[in-house]
Amino acid sequence: MTGTDLTGRDGRRRPLIGITSYQDDAAWSVWHQRASLVPQTYVDAVARSGGTPVLLPPQPGGVGHLLDVLDGLVLAGGPDVDPARYAAAADPRTGPPHRPRDDWESSLLHAALARDLPLLGICRGMQLLNVELGGTLLQHLPDNSHQHVPARFVHHRVTVTDGSRLAAVLGPAADVSCYHHQAVDRLGTGLQVTARGADGTVEALELPDRRFALGVQWHPETDPDDPRLFHALITAGHRTVH
């Protein structure tokens, strides 16, 4: 982002929004190296909605320092949460654990909640929110229900709970894009289910006692025509901007 991009049209500083990211093998030009990365759709969604995106790859320490300067946090999608975090044996269909990322995002999540920092969990991010508050996950949904062919999103409709913060953003229902084979099972402490799919799968959660702490099972960053969730996160983040 350029220096002028840090200020919005109203003259206020654009909220700094942290986005958790991967550490994985990647290839570009003549290089094939370990890299810290996140799909560009997350970066574009934050920037398009009035925020300044800041990537947060797993790293040792520094959580408090980072959250002291951030105005909001996106827990991005990614690999399965380690079942050991909710005291379960791994299903054969659960992916290999990514413990450094689990540990890093857990620290960010708890510190953000303690600060009442605006938070949006996406797919894995919603599942981690549930797990870190004492909930559990269904480790595999029926085949070809929420994840069909590799790297292709499934589109379906979710029903949103009336009176929830999510309903204030999206209304009573929304058409969404999902790609997941796991889902929320037992709810974590303080969480409320605020959207479900037609098959009953939990599609959204929120903490009603926080300023803005939502989790959605779908991928809103993939739909540039519907920026409402990112707008809501960044609007909440504006309250922390000095």
pLDDT (tens digit, 9 = 90+) per residue, 200-232?
Answer: 999 999 999 999 999 999 999 999 999 999 999
- For residue 29, with 0-12 CB atoms within 10 Å meaning exposed, 13-18 middle and 19 or more buried, which class applies? exposed
Mean pLDDT of 187-197: 98
**Is 219 in the active site?**
yes
242: confidence class by pLDDT, cuts 50, 70, 90:
very low
Please provide residue 159's backbone torsions phi and psi, each rounded to the nearest 5 degrees: -105, 130
69: three-class secondary structure by DSSP:
helix
For residue 23, what are its two tokens?
């550490």
Mean pLDDT of 194-198: 96
Structural contact between residues 23 and 100, judged by C-beta atoms closer than 8 angstroms: yes
**Is 123 in the active site?**
yes
Which has more pLDDT, 108 or 12?
A: 108
Catalytic residue among 123, 156, 203, 206: 123
Percent residues over pLDDT 70 in the chain: 91
- For residue 89, with 0-12 CB atoms within 10 Å meaning exposed, 13-18 middle and 19 or more buried, which class applies? exposed
d(CA 96, CA 45) in angstroms, rounded, equals: 29
Looking at the DSSP bridge assignments, the partners of residue 159 are: 173, 196
Catalytic residue among 146, 180, 181, 219: 219
- Look at residue 17 and tell me whether its pLDDT is greater than 90: yes
**Is 221 in the active site?**
yes
Mean pLDDT of 132-152: 83
H or E element, residue 205:
strand 202-206
Helix, strand, coil % over all residues of the chain, rounded to 5: 30, 25, 45
**What letter does residue 145 receive in the DSSP assignment?**
S
Catalytic residue among 105, 132, 203, 221: 221
d(CA 146, CA 24) in angstroms, rounded, equals: 25
Instruction: Encode burial over 125-157: b for 16+ CB neighbours within 10 A, e otherwise.
Output: bbbbbbbbbebbbebebeeebbbeeeeebbebe
4: confidence class by pLDDT, cuts 50, 70, 90:
very low
- Look at residue 2 and tell me whether its pLDDT is greater than 60: no
Please provide residue 223's backbone torsions phi and psi, each rounded to the nearest 5 degrees: -120, 90
> What angle, rounded to 10 degrees, do the helices at 40-48 and 228-238 form?
60
